[in-house]
A and B are shown apart, each in its own frame.
Chain A
Amino acid sequence: MIEIMTHIHDQDQILALKSSGCHRLTVTTPFLSSGIEHTFDLDNISMLFDIAENIDLKLGIMINRLIKETEWTTLLDQLHVIGITRPSFYIVSDVGVLFYLKQQTDIPVYFHSDTTIANQYDASLMLEHGTDIVMPARELTLEKKLQIIKSLQANIMIPVFGYQVMSRSYRPLLNNYFSQIEKNIPSKHNLFFFKEDQRDNIYLGYEDDHGFSMFTDEVMSLLEEKQQLEDAGLTLGWIDSNFLKEEDIQTVIEYFHDRITLEQTISRLTNSNIKLGKGLNYQDTATIKEEVK
């Protein structure tokens, strides 16, 4: 069975997803995150840990952005309020944060950079240098991900469902644009859609205090590949919970936890009117092409 981990929308999800078989979930604060739709006030984090501990669920902190040197003091302040040893694990994107946490605590630290771990040797090196689980680059094909999974198995987590982030900018691109065209539109913490005139795709965009992120136009789904992933030795899958309904997240978790069939899963998801696709899992990206279509 592939254990599924995800980031929660609200505190009620802790109980709901525990009942679906989840053992590990994540939360984050506005400061610690970028491009995450649901964050929690720092003051409420402790309460969430209390809830999780009461039902024997591991709650982790996600720090999914690069922390600049001038922000380091604030990072330490937030970790102090949370209690650096309180989380069951951390998920980080910054090697500096990884390095610091491993010096301060024995708590597991999972590493994902979205893009930069693209072969088994880089993944293996991150494990040697202190991380406990690595999420390989999102843009790898399924075949390449399977290769890494087979070599490192329990130390690998891959996204199995959700809108995939395509880019993260530290700049408030949407706010900047609205300023340029002199429109007073709140740009933060809302979902926006983008369409390039040569293409039919409608991409998702989200802005917060740490910049702008653009997401794929469809939900990447590896539902049909569950057996293949299990055979390769994958034990941990990730759901990108941004912009998804809670019931859909629960459906997918129940499927991967062998509680419902694929047909039941697809049937439920169909009602939600989300567009499912395979992303780049079956599309290798070349270093160069003759023309851009």
Chain B
Amino acid sequence: MRQVELLAPAGDLHRLKTAIDYGADAVYIGGKSFSLRARASNFDIDDIKEAVMYAHDHGAKVYVTVNMIPHQEDLEGLSDYLKVLESIQVDAIIVASLHVVTLAKQVTDHLEIHLSTQLSSTNAHALRFYKKVGVDRVVLARECSLTDIKQITSQDILPTEVFIHGGMCVNISGRCTLSNHMTFRDANRGGCAQSCRWKYECYDQNMQPLHAPDILFSMSSKDLNATTVISDLMQANVCSLKIEGRMKSEYYLATVVGAYRKLIDGMRNNKDDDLISVTNIELSKAENRATFSGFYHQVPDHHGHLYGVNGAGVTQEFLGVIMEYDPLTQMATMQVRNHFETNMACEVFGPHHENEDFVMTKIINSDGEHVDRVYKPMEIVQIKIPFNVDPKDFIRKRST
């Protein structure tokens, strides 16, 4: 079993650091231009430079998405951009255009080229084609089953990458123009309005209604959760396991990346069903949509969709981040993210230890006053935690 890479998304520098701190082997980010997630925060060149330095110092890699499907006018400046990315030692670019592959090969020497899921690779012959073009890795289409993936990877054509968690397009990636037609926003250049998640009335050919009045037709997909197949993917020698979500919060990343890190490390020894359950409990604390196993086991039935709702509420509230801890006083300095109060049941989680519970007993606000509650985001406060915690650990509210 080859060493598998855990690849996490990051919408900005702060989230990149969180993803790496919580165990990502590599992080993918978008630049200000050429990237599909136009509404993600995205990185300017100085940010990318700092991101690469931080990642490399921590043994991680940075991939920059250049994955819009470019129109003619979108190509201006691309050549220079690629050269700059190479000069600041970005490890790879993720692309969705053969022209961008060819251009990158022409103007750079060492930039690795990964082919985006936008080009929907579903078979070994597609990988052979892309290998001939000069691609170094292929992100397989989400429509591939576990069997498809095993059969593709067994032919050892190119390193492969698959999605394991996060949002799923219900339509074939890179081939959807619902948003283009319905909102004049280009789904394949970063402007997707997620028209697939809207609700539609459904009629037959005589315009007789077929929809249920309280549950309209929707194409909205649940999020992917591949915990049950991680072991199989590792044994199939998939190169990289990818988490979706460049627009997701630092709390989401810490929870999801941390959970999959522990699962992958645990799976290296043997498949453990208890570990999968523990991982799913942890993941449920960050999810904002219900999840399912995607196409890994079967073509999704109605259990793979969200009807009537767009997402479920988060079950655990993110309270703040530990900045430092004094074991003598048992007082932690933390940065507040959501309001909390004394007597609240809390949980600490972090990349280097198991989750631990405590009850909030003592809070000192930024003015040095003992208080019963805090509510100002980003305020620096002190709280009592009766066990050792580390900087960058997160605190969440425990559900009762």
Among candidates B97, B144, B199, B205, residue contacting A197 with C-beta atoms closer than 8 Å: B199
* CA–CA, A96 and B133, complex, Å: 13
Residues of B within 8 A of A119 (CB): 70-72, 74-75, 97, 99
Interface centre among A118, A148, A192 (most CB of B within 10 A): A118
The residue that A115 contacts in the complex, of B74, B126, B175, B205, with Cβ under 8 A, is B175
A-side contacts of B156, CB under 8 Å: none
Closest beta carbon of chain A to B204's beta carbon, Å: 6
B130 located at the interface, meaning its Cβ lies under 8 Å from any Cβ of chain A in the complex? yes
> What are the interface flags for A143-181 relative to B under an 8 Å C-beta threshold, 1 for contact and 0 otherwise?
010011000000000000000101111111110111111
Are A116 and B118 within 8 A (Cβ)? yes
* Known contacts A172-B299, A181-B215; A289 and B122 CB within 8 A of each other: no
Q: Looking at A113, A164, A283, which has the most chain B CB atoms within 10 Å of its CB?
A: A113
Choose among A144, A166, A171, A174 the residue that contacts B177 (Cβ–Cβ < 8 A): A166
* Distance from A104 Cβ to chain B, minimum over Cβ atoms (Å): 11
Given contacts A66-B122, A99-B125, contact A286 B186 (CB under 8 A): yes
B339 interface contact, C-beta 8 A: no
Query: Which partner residue on chain B sits nearest A212 by CB separation?
Result: B219
Which listed residue, B171, B185, B186, B202, touches A168 by the CB 8 Å rule? B171
Binds A, one of B2-10, B146-154, B250-258: B146-154
Q: Is the CB of B152 within 8 A of A196?
A: no
User: Within 8 Å of chain A (Cβ to Cβ): is B128?
Assistant: yes
**Is B171's CB under 8 angstroms from A176's CB?**
no
Q: Does B38 contact A (CB under 8 A)?
A: yes
Residues of chain A within 8 A (CB-CB) of B216 are 197
Smallest Cβ-Cβ distance to B207: which chain A residue: A193
A138, B299: Cα distance in complex, Å = 27
Most chain B CB within a 10 A radius of its CB, from A98, A167, A174: A167
Q: Count B-side interface residues using an 8 Å CB cutoff.
A: 85
Pick from B130, B175, B193: contact of A95, CB under 8 Å:
B130
Say whether, besides A115-B177, A167-B177, A176-B302, A70 and B151 are in contact (CB < 8 Å). yes
Q: Please, what's the 1-or-0 string for A227-243, where 1 marks a CB less than 8 Å from any CB in chain B?
A: 00000000000000000
Chain A residue, CB-CB nearest to B133? A129
Cβ-based interface call for B1 (8 A): no
Give Cα A113 to B184, complex, Å: 20
The complex places the Cα of A201 from the Cα of B198 at a distance, in Å, of: 14
B104-133 at interface with A (beta carbon < 8 Å): 118-130, 132-133
**B 217-248 to A, binary, CB cutoff 8 A, 1 in contact else 0:** 11100000000000000000000000000000
Please name all residues of chain A whose beta carbon is closer than 8 Å to the beta carbon of B170 when the two chains form the complex. Answer: 169, 171, 173
**Given the complex, which residues of B lie within 8 Å of A97, measured CB to CB?**
125
Instruction: Flag if A169 contacts B129 (CB, 8 Å).
Output: no
Across-interface contacts of A288 in B (CB, < 8 A) = 38-39, 185, 190-191
Task: Say yes or no: is A67 at the interface (Cβ < 8 Å to chain B).
Answer: yes
Q: Is the CB of A144 within 8 A of B39?
A: no
Q: How far apart sit A35 and B178, CA to CA, in the bound complex (Å)?
A: 15
Instruction: Return chain A residues, CB-CB under 8 Å to B204.
Output: 190, 192-193
* Alpha-carbon separation in the docked complex, A62 to B27 (Å): 40
Contact assessment for A179 and B295 in the assembled complex, using a CB-CB cutoff below 8 Å: no
Contact between B102 and A125 (Cβ–Cβ < 8 Å)?
Answer: yes
Report the separation of the CA atoms of residues A71 and B177 in the bound assembly, to the nearest whole angstrom.
26
Q: A68-B122, A169-B170, A287-B190 are in contact. List 20 more A-B contacts (CB 8 A).
A: A68-B123, A68-B145, A71-B123, A95-B119, A95-B126, A113-B175, A115-B188, A118-B97, A170-B143, A172-B299, A177-B218, A179-B301, A190-B205, A192-B204, A194-B200, A196-B198, A212-B219, A289-B183, A289-B185, A293-B183
Binding site for B on A (CB under 8 A): 66-72, 94-100, 113-116, 118-122, 125-126, 129, 137-140, 144, 147-148, 164, 166-174, 176-181, 183, 185, 190-199, 201-203, 205, 212, 214, 216, 279-280, 283-289, 292-293
Q: List 9 A-B contacts (CB under 8 A).
A: A70-B147, A119-B70, A126-B98, A144-B71, A180-B215, A193-B203, A197-B201, A280-B177, A285-B179
Q: Which 9 A-B pairs have the closest CB atoms?
A: A96-B125, A96-B126, A121-B99, A285-B186, A99-B129, A176-B302, A181-B212, A167-B171, A180-B302
